[in-house]
Amino acid sequence: MKILVTGGAGFIGGNFVHYLLRNHPADRVVCLDALTYAGNPATLAPVASDPRFVFARADIADRTEVFTIFAREKPDAVVNFAAESHVDRSISAPEVFLRANVLGTQVLLDACRLLGNPRFHQVSTDEVYGDLPLDRPDLFFTEETPLHTSSPYSASKAGADLLTLAYFRTYGLPVTISRCSNNYGPYHFPEKLIPLMITNALTGQPLPVYGDGLNVRDWLYVEDHCAAIDLILRRGRPGEIYNIGGHNERANIDVVRAIIRALGRGEIKFVKDRAGHDRRYAIDAGKIGRELGWTPQTGFDEGLERTIRWYRENETWWRDILSGHYRDNLEIG
Ligand code: NAD
Ligand code: TDX
């Protein structure tokens, strides 16, 4: 199978490219990525010389670029990770989120519809369901939970989900959608909670915790997310949505304290809360378990330990981001 992966120079897309090439020796992978601030060529360095791998720099919202690449590569399947992904940036500059996440997804859907009707998988998020109250630990998001978005980021992701489902119903495009909880692991850009806390602690910077630190996220090790998407792509039912989550709910402050304990350093600084800050996310991943047999393999303590080890052993990867050097050479391969 030839799989076109968008956003493969980012965190989850990069891990997914590595996962595919490791687990499916007969597959070929085309990575399409604009290399925005979040795209790092170093993330793809381990696969850059693999003959089964091709990189194309392009913006998913640029119809001409995308159609040219689709016509040339003729993928059997498309997995769309490309997106603006950071909630705080969506609050200060929403427009780019609408362009990349909504219009970009629509261009990809059109390219699929007009150029070969490949399988299309949209990587979405649990944030499309809004949030849950802290005092109702019995409540979880299911695939039937109504969309109820809080930030421009989550609103743009919900828009993309609706377009994806519309292309299934109207044009019969074979699509699936996954909605996953918070990921963590190697190659995570150091603007998100876990990598920011690890790199700040290692560089002697304070660890900024928003509000009271009691907001809860459901953490999933990135490789478990990759395995789930891979299963959906090969065995999922077109037109369906699958929730993915780890049942690893943690308050932010507990995550930050665990990082400080593991590193033996780091100083918490409580800062102003995020506007519209979602209180709690929690996923019911029963459907993907029942239908496709997926279960997460990595518990939070083990995953956090592995992640911290990776950041300790790969200082150049994140120090080049902090210094800006990762933008010096945007060639891949
Ligand atoms: P990321 O910000 O680390 O990477 C995004 C990648 O997409 C980068 O390589 C960037 O260059 C590329 N990109 C951005 N805009 C583009 C455009 N217009 N055209 C082409 N490429 C573009 O993001 P991530 O954390 O790896 O998230 C990947 C996907 O998974 C996103 O769709 C996100 O909504 C979703 N998701 C993320 C999480 C999480 O915890 N990080 C959880 C659930 C879902
Ligand atoms: O400095 C910080 N301090 C802090 O307290 C940062 C960056 C975050 N936080 C809090 C906000 C959240 O409650 O930590 C929690 C996690 O924040 P982020 O890492 O920004 O993730 P979140 O907003 O939960 O969104 C993530 O998960 C869902 C991804 O970035 C999204 O792309 C994904 O869809």
Average pLDDT over all residues of the chain: 97
Ligand nearest to the CA of 253: 2
153 catalytic residue (yes or no) = yes
- With a 6 A CB cut-off, is 86 part of the ligand 2 pocket? yes
Question: Which residue in 33, 84, 126, 223 is the catalytic one?
Answer: 126
**213: phi > 0 → left, psi -120 to 50 → alpha, else beta; which?**
left
**What spacing in Å lies between the alpha carbon of 262 and ligand 1's midpoint?**
28
**What spacing in Å lies between the alpha carbon of 38 and ligand 1's midpoint?**
8
Instruction: Name the nearest CA neighbour of 161 among 181, 182, 177, 141.
Output: 177
- The reply to whether 268 falls in a domain is no
Question: Which residue in 33, 59, 84, 127 is the catalytic one?
Answer: 127
47 DSSP 8-state letter: G
**What spacing in Å lies between the alpha carbon of 57 and ligand 2's midpoint?**
27
- The reply to whether 201 falls in a domain is no
Choose which residue among 6, 11, 17 to substitute to test ligand 1 binding: the one with the highest number of ligand atoms within 8 A of its C-beta. 11
- With a 6 A CB cut-off, is 55 part of the ligand 1 pocket? no
- The reply to whether 112 falls in a domain is yes
Q: How confident is the model at residue 246 (pLDDT cuts 50, 70, 90)?
A: confident
- The reply to whether 270 falls in a domain is no
- The reply to whether 328 falls in a domain is no
126 catalytic residue (yes or no) = yes
CB neighbour burial string for 164-200, b if at least 16 within 10 angstroms, e if fewer: bbebbeeeebbbbbbbbbbbbbbbbbbebbbbbbbbb
State which residues form the domain around 6. 2-188+220-247+280-299
320 catalytic residue (yes or no) = no
Question: Position of tokens 């996923």?
Answer: 283
Q: How confident is the model at residue 329 (pLDDT cuts 50, 70, 90)?
A: confident
pTM: 0.98
Please state the rounded mean pLDDT for residues 142-169.
98
Cα–Cα distance for residue pair 217/141, rounded to 1 Å: 12
- Atom index in ligand 1 nearest the CA of residue 36 equals 11
- pLDDT above 80 for 333: no
Kindly report the CATH number assigned to the domain that includes residue 31.
3.40.50.720
Helix (H) or strand (E) holding 92: helix 87-92
Question: Is 15 in contact with 187 (CB distance < 8 Å)?
Answer: yes
- The reply to whether 210 falls in a domain is no
Q: What percent of the chain has pLDDT over 90?
A: 98
Ligand nearest to the CA of 180: 1
pLDDT per position as a tens digit, 196-235: 999 999 999 999 999 999 999 999 999 999 999 999 999 9
Cα–Cα distance for residue pair 257/197, rounded to 1 Å: 10
- Atom index in ligand 2 nearest the CA of residue 87 equals 23
Please state the rounded mean pLDDT for residues 279-291.
97
Question: Position of tokens 């699936």?
Answer: 176
Choose which residue among 37, 87, 278 to substitute to test ligand 2 binding: the one with the highest number of ligand atoms within 8 A of its C-beta. 87
**What spacing in Å lies between the alpha carbon of 188 and ligand 1's midpoint?**
10
- pLDDT above 80 for 247: yes
Identify the residue whose C-alpha is closest to ligand 2 atom 8. Answer: 193
- The reply to whether 256 falls in a domain is no
Say how many domains are in the chain.
1
- With a 6 A CB cut-off, is 41 part of the ligand 1 pocket? no
Cα–Cα distance for residue pair 165/177, rounded to 1 Å: 8
- The reply to whether 321 falls in a domain is no
Ligand nearest to the CA of 150: 2
Please state the rounded mean pLDDT for residues 152-180.
98
Q: How confident is the model at residue 68 (pLDDT cuts 50, 70, 90)?
A: very high
Ligand nearest to the CA of 124: 1
- With a 6 A CB cut-off, is 106 part of the ligand 1 pocket? no
Question: Is 116 in contact with 74 (CB distance < 8 Å)?
Answer: yes
